[in-house]
Amino acid sequence: MHEPDAAIGALRERLAQAASVCVLTGAGMSAESGIPTFRDALTGLWSRFDPAQLASEAGFRADPALVWDWYAERRAGVLAAEPNPGHRALADFARRRPGVLTVVTQNVDDLHQRAGNRRAIRLHGDILRDRWLESCPRDCDPAQATPGRPPRCADCGNLLRPGVVWFGEMLPAGALEAAEVAARGCDVMLVVGTSGAVWPAAGLAALARRAGAYVAILNPADSEIDADAHLCLRGTAATLLPGLLG
């Protein structure tokens, strides 16, 4: 088995030579910027609510104002956060080597985009965008909704909801397919800051390995998909990525 320094050096060399690199990021990466994970955010006032009440269509329909207020608080936290050195290392790598890096993220914030990776594949949506709860037959613009908790269409009464994937919902059209293409086609996959507990995103590491990629997991603690990796490095995105990609 490699010593840690040797393993990191070998991984750096693989990344330097790779024609295609896919990086899957999870909640741990955003947590380093001060955005709590979904479970960690269930504190204080919110600790008495079941997650399904705050992140499901059924919960939203039962109490739209409650869910809207929950996401308003989370959005404020996202807007106050800044990209960390891990986000910036990925963006710098992408700028130096155009066309090599594909970022696939489970995170619903915009930190990758603000760091410079504007084309990141978002598996779980975008918390800063709204969409209609129901399909709008008139193709109304969500930006024209009447203010409220939540806003609604003055014409038909349709409610706005956050543009994130809730429990039991399908991923955004094309997002999973694009992520799978990136996983199958990469030479190296980095899995960063995720417990590997959320599917189908957790299956991307095994998919990449079966297709011939070298898979490394970067996480402070064990993940549920460590067995899919050639190498597991214990550390955070902000501490490990700048050295690997610099």
pLDDT band for position 7 (50/70/90)? confident
Q: How far apart are CA 24 and CA 217, in angstroms?
A: 9
Domain spans, the chain = 1-33+82-124+171-246, 36-80+125-164
3-class DSSP state of 49: coil
Is the pLDDT confidence value at 2 over 50?
Answer: no
pLDDT in tens, 35-62: 988 888 777 767 888 888 999 999 999 9
What integer pLDDT is reported at residue 245 of this predicted model? Answer: 96
What's the mean per-residue pLDDT of the chain? 93
What integer pLDDT is reported at residue 156 of this predicted model? Answer: 83
Cis peptide before 150 (omega within 30 of 0): yes
Q: 36-80+125-164: what CATH class? A: alpha beta
**Do residues 130 and 160 lie in contact, with contact meaning Cβ atoms separated by under 8 Å?**
yes
Least confident interval from 25-34, 47-56, 85-94: 47-56
- Please tell me the pTM assigned to this model: 0.93
Please confirm, yes or no, whether 124 is among the known catalytic residues.
yes
**Do residues 87 and 30 lie in contact, with contact meaning Cβ atoms separated by under 8 Å?**
no
Cα 154 to Cα 45, 71, 132, 136, 160, distances in angstroms: 31, 22, 13, 12, 11
What integer pLDDT is reported at residue 3 of this predicted model? Answer: 52
What integer pLDDT is reported at residue 137 of this predicted model? Answer: 75
Q: How far from each other are the two terminal CA atoms of the chain, in whole angstroms? A: 25
pLDDT in tens, 216-241: 999 999 999 999 999 999 999 999 99
What integer pLDDT is reported at residue 55 of this predicted model? Answer: 94
Kindly name the residue from 2, 87, 112, 124 that is annotated as catalytic.
124
Q: Work out the average pLDDT over 87-94.
A: 98
- The greatest distance separating any two alpha carbons of the chain, rounded to the nearest whole angstrom, comes to 65
User: Do the bridges between strand 121-122 and strand 231-233 make them parallel or antiparallel, or are there none, so unpaired?
Assistant: unpaired
The CATH code for residues 1-33+82-124+171-246 is: 3.40.50.1220
What integer pLDDT is reported at residue 183 of this predicted model? Answer: 98
pLDDT in tens, 117-127: 989 999 999 99
pLDDT in tens, 145-183: 999 999 999 888 899 999 999 999 999 889 999 999 999
Amino acid 85 reads: P
